């Protein structure tokens, strides 16, 4: 099988990010001026990877980021269901620390956290199933290509154990920055890390 390059980009900064809150599912939040500038710089940095297509989640902040990349690199943009951030339901709009306190997460075992279902939201397990199904569909359509996925911090965090071949608990260690680039090669159903959370292009 030909080598595929998977390039994960977290969307640019939003006001909700600045406030340290969790986005609501399907909100209309746009990028800040800084976020737009960040993604412009990310677009430049992506040129060396010669991507042929950019996929993005259906969330506005991801679509806006992906459109900037698509326009600057002259590559097709494909919006897909399934790359979205975890839906925190009634807990959206809070900080993660506030969610942990409300849900009593610190008292939960890992398995309890993995299967915990916030009111009107998704469990970690459900989110992971959705994200991996979507990733596998994208990979199967793009063998041997360099593909950009514009998604979310939480989505990238959930992907990391699968991409690195480590235990799910390891995902706690990962917190990708806005407009960061993480690159993996993919061949024979195996992923190999090239770079994680690269933000060197954002330095002025």
Active site residues: 11, 85
Closest C-alpha to 200, from 181, 183, 185? 181
- Token duo for residue 1: 């099988």
142 bridge partner residues:
none
Burial class (CB in 10 A: 0-12, 13-18, 19+), 43: buried
In 3-state terms the chain splits into helix, strand, coil percentages (rounded to 5) of: 45, 20, 35
CA distance 25 to 127: 12
SS3 61: helix
């Amino acid at each position: 099988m030909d080598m595929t390059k998977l390039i994960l980009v977290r969307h640019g900064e939003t006001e909700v990010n600045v406030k340290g809150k969790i986005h609501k599912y399907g909100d209309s939040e746009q990028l800040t001026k800084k976020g737009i500038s960040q993604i412009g710089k990310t677009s430049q940095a992506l040129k060396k990877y010669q991507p042929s297509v950019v996929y993005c989640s259906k969330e506005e902040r991801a679509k806006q980021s992906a459109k900037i990349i698509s326009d600057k690199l002259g590559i097709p943009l494909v919006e897909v269901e399934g790359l979205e951030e975890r839906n925190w339901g009634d807990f959206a709009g809070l900080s993660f620390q506030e969610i942990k306190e409300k849900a009593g997460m610190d008292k939960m075992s890992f398995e309890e956290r993995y299967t915990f279902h916030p009111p009107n939201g998704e469990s970690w397990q459900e989110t992971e199933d959705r994200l991996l199904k979507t990733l596998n569909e994208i990979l199967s359509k793009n063998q041997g290509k360099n593909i950009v996925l514009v998604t979310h911090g939480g989505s990238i965090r959930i992907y990391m154990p699968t991409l690195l071949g480590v235990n799910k608990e390891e995902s706690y260690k990962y917190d990708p920055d806005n407009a960061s680039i993480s690159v993996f090669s993919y061949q024979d159903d195996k992923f190999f890390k090239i770079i994680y959370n690269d933000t060197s292009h954002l330095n002025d």
